[in-house]
Copies of this chain bind each other. A is one copy, B any other.
């Protein structure tokens, strides 16, 4: 299988390293995976025989641009070359997310699918904005679009809904989908911290970003919930359909009081069919000890589905970080290699 990797930031580098680390395991399953393109922000590397990934990793540890890599590096290499050369089976799209335009990922994904390449993406933007359209293009071109990484990384939210609940109808989706807020809430619970203090600690540890708005105001949860709802309930919702609320108003006293009553506050994304219509919200909810989401703490994430014939399914996990994001991309690649058709 020949792959083009687009995007060589944190996830892209972790992906290249993972493919190198997993070489023998993949071969044992009959997957001879060659990365023949790695495209960075300025040019990239191309080697039809398969790039020497270990060597590229070493090179990029001390060189800013992979375009100067001596074996196939070029400042002129572009996405158009990948399309023109017609020598890959799959495009792995790992460019930065833009949830307003979806670009540049949207263009890469669409064009790749239209040209008959399978695509696995880590990019929420295009999926948020155009899942059904992209899936339709994939179907028309008889290729697959893997999106597992976009909603929880290692946590198999998409797999859970598509593969593990195959044949059932999902009535509701409920999830702790954002590790940063979950970590802040845990600090408020365990250390009695006020929100500002807990946020500061999360920022110091690199768990929260300098501008934490998207996480703490609930928008990251909302985007993931939206993708899950559109994919698994076959809806065509937008962010405007979700009532979104964050965690910033909570006080240490609120958290303490809830704990004393046997509850924890969790930022819950929820989509639920009510009289045939799907209602969606992101808000802080009190979760009791008998709820399977109660002890999903810290950076962990979880999703709970309720279905007609396969009952309740709770999935907890989702190691955070670029390596597990890369591993969730590889999961999609392997499942596509094993023949799975995600177009239902």
Contact = CB atoms under 8 A, between A and B. Distances in A.
B339 A310 contact: no
A316 B338 CA distance: 26
Interface in A24-41: 25-26, 29
Contacts of A316: 292, 312-316
A275 interface: no
Number of this chain's copies in the assembly equals 2
A239 interface: no
Contact-residue size bin, chain A (C-beta under 8 Å from the other chain): 35 or more
A330 interface: yes
A311 B163 contact: no
A311 B344 CA distance: 28
B344 A341 contact: no
A159 interface: yes
Contacts of A159: 159, 163-164
A214 interface: no
A294 B291 CA distance: 10
A154 B292 contact: no
Interface stretch (A166-174, A194-202, A249-257): A166-174
A314 B169 CA distance: 22
A12 interface: no
A295 interface: yes
A268 B324 CA distance: 27
A317 B340 CA distance: 24
Contact of A167 (B155, B169, B327, B342): B327
A110 interface: no
Interface string A289-324: 111101111000000000001111111111100011
A160 interface: yes
A48 interface: no
A18 B156 CA distance: 26
A193 to B, nearest CB: 19
A334 interface: yes
Task: State the 9 A-B residue pairs at the shortest beta-carbon distance, nearest first.
Answer: A311-B319, A339-B339, A309-B327, A156-B164, A314-B316, A313-B317, A166-B334, A167-B330, A166-B331
10 contacts: A29-B344, A159-B163, A163-B163, A163-B335, A166-B334, A309-B330, A312-B319, A313-B317, A314-B316, A316-B316
